Amino acid sequence: MITTLSVLAVILVILSLPAFFMIFHSRFIKKINSQNQEIIQTKEKLQSYLQRIDSLVLTLKKMHKFSVGATGMSSKEELSRFVLDSCCELFDSQSGSIMMLEPNSGTLKIIASRNVAAENSNAVENLELRLGEGVAGKVAQEGKPVFIEDIEKDPRFVHLPDIRYTSKSMLCAPIETKGKIAGVINIHPDAPPVINGKSAVFDDKNLHLLAILTDQVAVALENIELYNNLQKTYLEMVESLAKAIDAKDSYTHDHADRARGYAAAICRELGLPESITKHVEYAALIHDIGKIGIDNSVLEKSGKLSPEERKKIEQHPIIGAKIIEPFSVLAPIAPIIRHHHEYYNGMGYPAGLKGEEIPLGSRIVTIIDSFDAMTSDRPYRKAMSRIQAVQELKRSANSQFDPGVVEAFLRTLEHDSSQ
């Protein structure tokens, strides 16, 4: 039997339900909001991590590109320009410079710069810093990289006339080779890097990155030194071979030196890169090395050569190529020597190549060889005049000689005569 008390209890429970559900709903909403906030924070952290990963990947790509590029340079000037451009890209900078230590004067001189001097100013060429002078001089003296937030407030900074800077900040790091200071890199970042919409401050990580780059530069500089030493040895070897050729054939005395000079002039006129020019120069210097294998009686014969003797003479390009092929430093010029008696119309020897089939170096050397032969005394005839030789080159263009190379050679002769 339901009592009045029981009814009242039920009524009280029913009346309290809305309040209970309101409390539960409020706590539930707070819990959801808290979880949503955690999700948002986690998402922001994840985005930050992803941005950092992307930034690291991009930096690694740039550093790999830098490493590959730096090791392929053959001169300090070429390397310095590449390094400066790479560092400016890596540190978001529009200006910077690379200074190398002059061994004789003991001063730092700029050999590559970007947006650091006013137009029509010789400030870059004339700038010299002693060790310990200015920021760069201090870094070179102490051998430690530095980051300066405001160069105008730094007592080490030296203001120089006609030198301008795109920002007040400066990264400077030493370049060391074999434990000795070789120079410094100066970078003026436009602004600190931006991460998550906030400006970050340059720190030890940036200096460490620059130090890694300077280590790569040091390796590249050592490679250039080795390359230059190898080139010097290479040239000495070639010159010794050229002297041996001159000693073999008295009628071609100094022919090799003249051929080398002509080769360099033609290559410059054609706008060929330095690496190719060197190969053509050396090929011109020893193009007749194969004559070492030909009897003097044939080389110095004053009368007409017999078919057998001509056959022997025509072997000298092949003999020459075979002599130098075993030497790895000389091997690249072997094809030039082998084909320096080919004709543009295909009627030459030893392979009967024609036109573009003939290596460009060979097409250059054959013109040089012919011109010098025409203007020099031979056992069987007197020298032509320079004018006669030029006319012969023009007449034989498109048949014996490449017409484009003939034109380039004639321009070099005109330059010489006008000086």
Residues 262-290, buried b or exposed e (16+ Cβ, 10 A)? bbbbbbebbebeeeebbbbbbbbbbbbbb
* Better-scored residue on pLDDT, 128 or 67: 128
Q: Are 313 and 298 in contact (CB under 8 A)?
A: yes
Name which of 81-85, 194-198, 250-254, 282-286 the model is least confident about: 194-198
CB burial readout 202-240, b (16+ within 10 A) else e: beeebbebbeebbebbbebbebbeeeeeeeeebeebbbe
- CATH of the domain spanning 249-418: 1.10.3210.10
For the entire predicted model, the pTM comes to: 0.55
| Sequence-ordered alpha helix ranges (H) in 71-175 | 76-90, 123-126, 134-142
Mean pLDDT of 228-255: 71
- Each residue of 160-208: pLDDT tens digit? 666 666 667 788 889 888 888 889 998 887 655 444 444 444 566 777 7
Show me where the domains of the chain are located. 70-224, 249-418
Tell me what pLDDT residue 407 has: 97
Which 8-state DSSP code applies to residue 163?
B
DSSP string, 225-262: HHHHHHHHHHHHHHHHHHHHHHHH-GGGTTHHHHHHHH
pLDDT tens string 9-64: 555 555 555 655 666 556 767 777 777 777 777 777 767 666 666 665 555 566 65
Residue 321 CA, chain-centre distance (Å), reads 30
Beta-carbon contacts of 324 under 8 Å, excluding residues fewer than 6 positions away, are 241, 286, 289, 330, 331, 333, 334, 337
Q: What is the mean pLDDT of residues 375-380?
A: 74
Rounded distance between C-alpha atoms, residue 234 and residue 126, angstroms = 35
Share of the chain above pLDDT 90, in %: 25
CATH code for the structural domain at 70-224: 3.30.450.40
70-224 shares its CATH topology with 249-418? no
